[in-house]
A and B are shown apart, each in its own frame.
Chain A
């Protein structure tokens, strides 16, 4: 983009120059706050992953195993709750969003740096409370369905208070991003010149601000029920257990778009850069993010087709659900079309981006099985659902997150990753992932219910295959973490713009100086002007 601000070389320590705990804990620099979020969420990704491996280990045998059924239930609850609330929801928005939104719109910082830091501390306080709740560990599943969660002897109130704080941090961050995107854009950066990651983050922030209060209220109602015996959800007191499910999914369905839209934004950045082609259908991608964000509020009932909800409601929710499928498909077509007649190179960010598309297609195509009423009745609450959401959440969001980490690692650290290690990790992850989770489609189709510690013996072979797959997957993750760790100290110095990208964050040093840009750049073009205009357009 605008000439004259081409990348400086990465010699200095930039924003990393200052050291010491205080320089981090009280920093108002959005980059440092982003890095703190990154470490925190990555930690919970690894802990959540550890629980996943324990679950898979138990499921090698159909009967009672090396952990009791009760412990198994605690493990899947912790696996789910940590992965959802402490990893996947904040991972891309709070970490990469914090680091890169100001840089990509050409600003010195977010609109409210103090609020940003407060958000991180609230997040941390939430985590402390969540950890405190382990005194009587939760076994309700991450969905907290009443009446079980209202009766359970576990520290449900404490945990939901912790998650309440985490949600509050999420609202503050979202609010900050919306205002930053509205008010801090560099001169010349019109809405139609904004990078697609910013569009994705904008849509995400809108959902966070609108939906998160609902889960907060739900947690308050649940706490009132447990502490004071108010019977919102208790049929014996005139309450309704299904009401809880409606509240819960009114938040938790839109939130799946909080998980996926930022990842889609990252993919929309990486594909053009590594294909040397303008993104295909910019407007369609940008607007479909907004369309998905808004339509996503109207489909929560598709989690409840067999819950006892009325059949009429089920039909309406099914129809609305399919209306969200189309804009999602459009994005996939656009990414693939971007590759057409490109000059494609396969460095690690692109590898993960292609893995994202490959796996997300499978996740997406298995959605209609669950959205369609006839088949939902068969597949709901089986391993088919487990497979479907892992293909979209892990195959989608986590791959997008990894693509982003590999893409921006040089910018954040000033060092390059080892491409050799990155490729090895990617291959292991791709194989391990598919062996683990494709198997679960079959298990689910054959009737294996989810959240089962023990199971009839006819499912064992499939379970063993899935467990072995999870070891390969874990090996891939270990190689990747090793790559991050060693490159942090021994990676070769990164130039300002190693990938030849056109977005603003690359038009400054790696790592960036504290103020991001010495002079705020003036934007004259969108960031996807790759290729020669008029050169043999199709």
Chain B
């Protein structure tokens, strides 16, 4: 089953809200369409030059203050309304609800690799439970790619060297297309995947059937790496700051920087701190952390981040 987006009413709350914005703009656009095209065609017909009236002179009208003011003010108000509505919904699209389950996605020419938090991975097919928020943490190992779920009306570019993300909370079981929307070379158009939404019981059964005993989840590998690379010499996990800030409860927390700015600690921030530690220095600390660029592989960074997220 590959539903058209418009056939897929009710796939998610966000999709419904995007549809409302769409409809809102359609109504305004149609009113203007009929108003302008109607007047255009009506005037062109009504004031056509006819045989016998060629010589008739036309009035010398060069403008009309009131009319011109009106057609600046009214459209301005309407576009502001469209902007505001679009913005409000955009916040919904961008902000994943707390407790969303993360699935890492690594895109490359020309496939998607999905990595679940328990160590399973799959190519071009991802399974998610119905009704639960899922967040895709996206990165690429070569060029730009796209991650587009047409039925859910959302998309996000995938950028090498950084994390972007996208979340869904599917309200309908079924199989949904994922398309690459950012041109990535010869196989661009065949770079497609499926998101299979399963109801809770099916999903649990499937997870149980898939899990292999020897599968180590990424966070566990991350833990080993953190020990091996000496991170814990400076960073504690007990809530006490040492040479570096403690890792405890760091993920998702607001962090103040020495330059006065502040940010929420997320995957991109972790990644930057590991690869380019002096780019953002936490308030109260010295820029002494070494870079791990070239030392850690892309997968290892992802594993360390997976572990960092578990240090609650």
Taking beta carbons and an 8 Å cutoff, which residues of A are in contact with B?
Answer: 69-70, 73, 139-141, 143, 145, 147-148, 151-152, 235-236, 238, 240-242, 275-284, 306-308, 311, 314-315, 318-319, 322, 325-326, 329-330, 332-333, 336-337, 339-346, 354, 357-358, 361-362, 365-366, 368-369, 371-378, 380-382, 445-447, 449-456, 458, 528-538
CA distance A223 to B27 in the complex (A): 47
Are B59 and A377 in touch, CB under 8 angstroms? no
Contact (A373, B188) CB under 8 Å given A275-B58, A332-B36, A447-B179:
no
Min distance, Cβ B43 to any Cβ of chain A, angstroms = 4
A-B contact count (CB 8 A): 277
Are A537 and B59 in touch, CB under 8 angstroms? yes
Task: For the A-B complex with A322-B82, A381-B182 known, give 6 more contacts whose Cβ atoms are closer than 8 Å.
Answer: A336-B40, A337-B64, A368-B79, A374-B90, A375-B25, A446-B150
Min distance, Cβ B183 to any Cβ of chain A, angstroms = 5
Could you say which residues of chain B place their CB within 8 Å of the CB of A362?
33
Could you say which residues of chain A place their CB within 8 Å of the CB of B49?
276, 343-345
Min distance, Cβ B175 to any Cβ of chain A, angstroms = 12
What sequence of 0s and 1s flags, for each residue 214-236 of chain B, a beta carbon within 8 Å of any chain A beta carbon? Answer: 00000000000000000000000
CA distance A379 to B221 in the complex (A): 39
Query: Which one, B5, B56, B86, B153, contacts A373 given CB within 8 A?
Result: B86
Residue contacts A-B, CB under 8 angstroms, 13 given: A148-B184, A152-B185, A284-B63, A339-B40, A342-B43, A343-B49, A344-B48, A357-B40, A365-B33, A369-B25, A375-B18, A528-B62, A532-B59
Are A445 and B6 in touch, CB under 8 angstroms? yes
Are A538 and B59 in touch, CB under 8 angstroms? yes
Query: Which one, B22, B58, B181, B185, contacts A531 given CB within 8 A?
Result: B58
Are A235 and B162 in touch, CB under 8 angstroms? yes
What sequence of 0s and 1s flags, for each residue 12-43 of chain B, a beta carbon within 8 Å of any chain A beta carbon? Answer: 00000110011001001100110011011001
CA distance A311 to B95 in the complex (A): 10
Which stretch of B68-76, B111-119, B282-290 is in the interface?
B68-76
CA distance A287 to B90 in the complex (A): 33
Query: Which one, A148, A358, A454, contacts B37 given CB within 8 A?
Result: A358
Contact (A377, B183) CB under 8 Å given A282-B63, A345-B49, A452-B188:
no
User: Nearest residue in A to B36 (C-beta to C-beta)?
Assistant: A361
CA distance A345 to B76 in the complex (A): 34
Contact (A374, B89) CB under 8 Å given A343-B56, A535-B57:
yes
B157 an interface residue at 8 Å Cβ cutoff? yes
Are B48 and A381 in touch, CB under 8 angstroms? no
Could you say which residues of chain A place their CB within 8 Å of the CB of B44?
339, 344, 346, 354
B146 an interface residue at 8 Å Cβ cutoff? yes
Taking beta carbons and an 8 Å cutoff, which residues of B are in contact with A?
Answer: 2, 4-6, 17-18, 21-22, 25, 28-29, 32-33, 36-37, 39-40, 43-44, 47-49, 53-54, 56-64, 67-68, 71-72, 75-76, 79-80, 82-83, 85-91, 93-94, 142-144, 146, 148, 150-151, 153-157, 159-162, 164, 177, 179-190, 192, 276
CA distance A531 to B162 in the complex (A): 64
Query: Which one, A344, A378, A453, contacts B47 given CB within 8 A?
Result: A344
Could you say which residues of chain B place their CB within 8 Å of the CB of A529?
60
Query: Which one, B6, B57, B160, B189, contacts A241 given CB within 8 A?
Result: B160
Could you say which residues of chain A place their CB within 8 Å of the CB of B148?
381, 447, 449
Min distance, Cβ B97 to any Cβ of chain A, angstroms = 16
CA distance A166 to B2 in the complex (A): 45
CA distance A391 to B118 in the complex (A): 49
Query: Which one, B22, B62, B157, B183, contacts A369 given CB within 8 A?
Result: B22
Contact (A343, B54) CB under 8 Å given A307-B159, A326-B76:
yes
Are B183 and A446 in touch, CB under 8 angstroms? no
CA distance A100 to B189 in the complex (A): 45
CA distance A380 to B17 in the complex (A): 17
CA distance A373 to B18 in the complex (A): 9
Could you say which residues of chain A place their CB within 8 Å of the CB of B76?
326
Are A311 and B162 in touch, CB under 8 angstroms? no
User: Nearest residue in B to A454 (C-beta to C-beta)?
Assistant: B189
Are A372 and B177 in touch, CB under 8 angstroms? no
User: Nearest residue in A to B40 (C-beta to C-beta)?
Assistant: A336
Could you say which residues of chain B place their CB within 8 Å of the CB of A240?
161
Contact (A326, B75) CB under 8 Å given A377-B93, A381-B182:
yes
Are B90 and A458 in touch, CB under 8 angstroms? no
Min distance, Cβ B238 to any Cβ of chain A, angstroms = 33
User: Nearest residue in B to A373 (C-beta to C-beta)?
Assistant: B90
Query: Which one, A332, A339, A374, A531, contacts B85 given CB within 8 A?
Result: A374
User: Nearest residue in A to B298 (C-beta to C-beta)?
Assistant: A236
CA distance A235 to B164 in the complex (A): 14
CA distance A535 to B56 in the complex (A): 11
Min distance, Cβ A317 to any Cβ of chain B, angstroms = 11
Query: Which one, A241, A277, A318, A380, contacts B87 given CB within 8 A?
Result: A318
Could you say which residues of chain B place their CB within 8 Å of the CB of A340?
43, 47, 61
